[in-house]
Amino acid sequence: MDPFGYLDSLGMFRMRPGLARIRTLSWELGSPEASIPSVLVGGTNGKGSTCYMTGAIMDAIGLRTLVYTSPHMLSPTERILVNGIEVSRDVLGRSIEKVRSISERIPDEEDRPTYFEVLTASAFDIAREEKVDCMIAEVGLGGRFDATNILTPSACAITSISLDHTEVLGEDVRSISSEKAGIVKASTPLILGPLEGAGEEANKVRRNIIGICSQNGSPVIAIQEAGEETYTDLLEDSDVPDWRIVSVSSSITRSGTNGEFSLACPDNPLQRIPLLSLLDDLVPGSFFTPLIGRHQAINMASALSLSSILLPYAISMKNIREGAHEYLSYMLDADPDPILGSFGMERIRLGMHKGLSSVRSRDRFEIVDLGGRTLILDGGHNEESGQTIARTFSELFPGSKAHILIAMSEEKDHIAFLSHLSGIAASMTVTVANAVRGMRPFRIVGAASSSGGSYPIKVREDPSKAVEEWIGSIRRGEIGLACGTFYLYSHLEKGRAQWTEN
């Protein structure tokens, strides 16, 4: 069985929470992740975009970077990017074989690693083999027991929290927030998003997470919309050792998102630690990304904060590899100034702008022109993403309606997701994108019918046929929206290719 056949045999959707298996794999591989500076990005929505932006910034500054995300849409190689380039099947295959040889020595099959753990260990191994200066890792599910949580990161982020994966993480946002806050590390900065998806529980969730940071001595960088005072009192009254509040103003076009960032910090300069002071110089200002949606400005703020904190560690790693061992003492002194001086602040700022303006991410409000038809592809699949899709669509295409193609996974809250789409739907085609865990169409149809909209709905269980008919039904000048799951993407790629050829 080849490496990818072995990986598939593990079952992509089989989950067994816990860190014992990944710790065993890492130990047997020589703990490749332990010596590589990293950041760890958790949350419900926005994790992937934040990782891609952070990686693009570090690449543009001139560092060798590995970005590890999930899930993939066409091939597992998509999950691992080195300087923005997908690793080859040969490279990933060799690392999977290393992990496989370790796994098969474990006598009890229940103690053997899962699909995600094998890929995570392989990503760490590739990071070492590729001699990267830093690694950006996305939490797969939750946080506390996710395989990525064996990292000792320079900073962590929780981009957002809302109801998703409730069968594993808990039935309410407070329970989910505790699981996601399991990535908080002692004395390690946490970037905390606005958590708008938490609804009425938002303040409880914020207090809960800031309380965890206080107990761990972890500084907090909080992101909020301009004009809000969401975090000010909470942080001023907390025992976190240092904090920053990044306020975000944004505007969007069909070309991307503009963000304007300002920053607040404690009044007492003695409370400010040198590492967080980097944000004071690097984060404020105007930035642009081709990723579309006001939420992407929030993700930009998170990426700028993460990269500012990661930079001294990554630059030190680069210089130590090149023989400049004095950088080790700089890091022990916790003084970023001599480290960043070797690169220059202007080079760093230019790299931040260049990286953010070059980043691309498939299937996140991706707008495609297909023969005069506008297709929007978005893998969002929970209530918060449904709200974001509808808000972004209405802002960019005011007064317009979309021909919607939708499939969802069986455990998702389809009622909450669809409640936000009824106002922008001209028609709906329902299909099944994944045979293993795809939601049956009648459930989606029932939710769509009761959501208050009045539009035609049809069911096509074969996703390839559904894509073909959906594209064919959209006239020139009209808009199509495919959403509900990332697993639609492979069918959409084939459908687009066929349509282009014809």
Q: For residue 313, give the CATH number of its domain.
A: 3.40.1190.10
DSSP for 82-112, written as a single string = ETTEEPPHHHHHHHHHHHHHHHTT-SSGGGS
In this structure, the answer to whether residues 350 and 378 fall within a common structural domain is: no
- Does the residue 488 lie in any domain? yes
In this structure, the answer to whether residues 164 and 307 fall within a common structural domain is: yes
Instruction: Give me the amino acid identity at 155.
Output: A
In this structure, the answer to whether residues 324 and 395 fall within a common structural domain is: no
Look up residue 211 and give its DSSP letter: H
- Does the residue 240 lie in any domain? yes
In this structure, the answer to whether residues 157 and 197 fall within a common structural domain is: yes
Look up residue 230 and give its DSSP letter: T
Residue 81 has φ and ψ, to the nearest 5°, of -115, 130
In this structure, the answer to whether residues 279 and 175 fall within a common structural domain is: yes
Domain boundary among the residues 358, 393, 408 is at 358
| CA atoms of 2 and 13, how far apart (whole Å) | 20
In this structure, the answer to whether residues 54 and 152 fall within a common structural domain is: yes
- Does the residue 6 lie in any domain? no
In this structure, the answer to whether residues 284 and 147 fall within a common structural domain is: yes
- Does the residue 326 lie in any domain? yes
- Does the residue 15 lie in any domain? no
- Does the residue 105 lie in any domain? no
One pLDDT digit (tens) per residue for the chain, 502 residues: 899 999 999 988 777 888 999 999 999 999 999 999 999 999 988 999 999 999 999 999 999 999 999 988 889 999 999 999 999 999 999 999 999 999 999 888 878 999 999 999 999 999 999 999 999 999 998 888 999 999 999 999 999 876 444 444 445 666 677 888 899 999 999 999 987 644 566 788 888 899 999 999 999 999 999 988 889 999 999 999 999 999 999 999 999 999 999 999 998 876 788 889 889 999 999 999 999 999 999 999 999 999 999 999 999 999 998 988 888 877 777 678 788 887 888 999 999 999 999 998 777 899 999 888 999 999 887 888 899 999 999 999 999 999 999 999 888 889 999 999 989 999 999 999 876 688 999 999 998 888 777 899 999 999 999 999 999 999 999 999 999 998 888 888 876 666 655 5
In this structure, the answer to whether residues 163 and 284 fall within a common structural domain is: yes
Q: Structurally, how many domains does the chain consist of?
A: 2
Cβ–Cβ < 8 Å for 153, 40: yes
**Domain span including residue 180:** 36-84+135-358
What CATH number is associated with residue 484?
3.90.190.20
Tokens of 90: 């040969």
Domain boundary among the residues 358, 388, 419 is at 358
Domain boundary among the residues 324, 358, 392 is at 358
In this structure, the answer to whether residues 353 and 460 fall within a common structural domain is: no
**3-state DSSP of 371-405:** CCEEEEECCCCCHHHHHHHHHHHHHHCCCCCEEEE
In this structure, the answer to whether residues 348 and 406 fall within a common structural domain is: no
Cα 417 to the center of its chain, rounded Å: 19
In this structure, the answer to whether residues 250 and 330 fall within a common structural domain is: yes
What average pLDDT does the structure give for the chain? 90
In this structure, the answer to whether residues 153 and 257 fall within a common structural domain is: yes
Cβ–Cβ < 8 Å for 224, 196: no
- Cα dihedral 251, 390, 200, 163, rounded to 10, equals -120
